[in-house]
Amino acid sequence: MTAPLEPPTLSAPPPPDADKGAKKAFVIPSLDGIRGMSFLIVFVAHAGLKGIVPAHFGLTLFFFLSGYLITTLMRMEWERTGTVSIRQFYLRRVLRILPPFYLVLFVAMALTAAGWLGGFLTRTGIVWQASHLTNYYIIRYGWWDGMPPGTSVYWSLAVEEHFYLVFPLLFLLLRRRVSTHRTMAMVLLGICAAILVWRLVLVFGLDASKERAYVATDTRIDSILLGCVLALWHNPVLDPKRITDRQLAWVWLPLGIASILVSLVVGHFWFEHTFRYTLQSAGLFPFFIAAVRWHDRLPFRAFSWWPLPQLGLLSYTLYLMHHTALFALHHNTTWPAPLRVAVAFVVILALAWIIYVWIERPCARARRRLSKYLEGTSARGAT
pLDDT by residue, tens only, the chain of 383 residues: 544 434 344 433 333 333 343 333 345 768 889 999 999 999 999 998 887 888 889 999 999 999 999 999 999 999 998 899 999 999 999 999 999 999 999 999 999 999 898 889 999 999 999 999 999 999 999 998 899 999 999 999 999 999 999 999 999 999 999 879 999 999 999 999 999 999 999 999 999 988 999 999 999 999 999 999 999 999 999 888 889 999 999 999 999 999 999 999 988 888 988 999 999 999 999 999 999 999 888 888 888 888 889 999 999 999 999 999 999 999 899 999 999 999 999 999 999 999 999 999 999 898 888 877 666 665 555 54
What are 296's strand-pairing partners? Answer: none
**Amino acid found at 259:** S
Given this model, what pLDDT does residue 14 score?
37
Given this model, what pLDDT does residue 49 score?
86
Given this model, what pLDDT does residue 368 score?
85
Given this model, what pLDDT does residue 341 score?
95
- Report the distance separating Cα 98 and Cα 316, nearest Å: 11
Given this model, what pLDDT does residue 9 score?
42
Given this model, what pLDDT does residue 323 score?
95
The 3-class SS string of the chain reads CCCCCCCCCCCCCCCCCCCHHHCCCCCCCHHHHHHHHHHHHHHHHHHHHCCCCCHHHHHHHHHHHHHHHHHHHHHHHHHHHCCCCHHHHHHHHHHHHHHHHHHHHHHHHHHHHCCCCCCCECHHHHHHHHCCCHHHHHHHHCCCCECCCCHHHHHHHHHHHHHHHHHHHHHHHHHHHCCCHHHHHHHHHHHHHHHHHHHHHHHHHCCCCHHHHHHCHHHHHHHHHHHHHHHHCCCCCCCCCCCCHHHHHHHHHHHHHHHHHHHHHCCCHHHHCCCHHHHHHHHHHHHHHHHHHCCCCCCHHHHHCCCHHHHHHHHHHHHHHHHHHHHHHHHHCCCCHHHHHHHHHHHHHHHHHHHHHHHHHHHHHHHHHHHHHHHHHHHHHHC
Given this model, what pLDDT does residue 18 score?
38
49 burial via Cβ count (<10 Å: 0-12, 13-18, 19+): middle
Residue 31: closest CA among 361, 288, 317, 315: 288
Peptide bond preceding 307 in cis form (omega within 30 of 0) = yes
Given this model, what pLDDT does residue 379 score?
52
Answer for the pair 288, 60: CB distance below 8 angstroms, yes or no: no
Given this model, what pLDDT does residue 289 score?
94
Given this model, what pLDDT does residue 27 score?
57
Given this model, what pLDDT does residue 380 score?
53
Given this model, what pLDDT does residue 21 score?
38
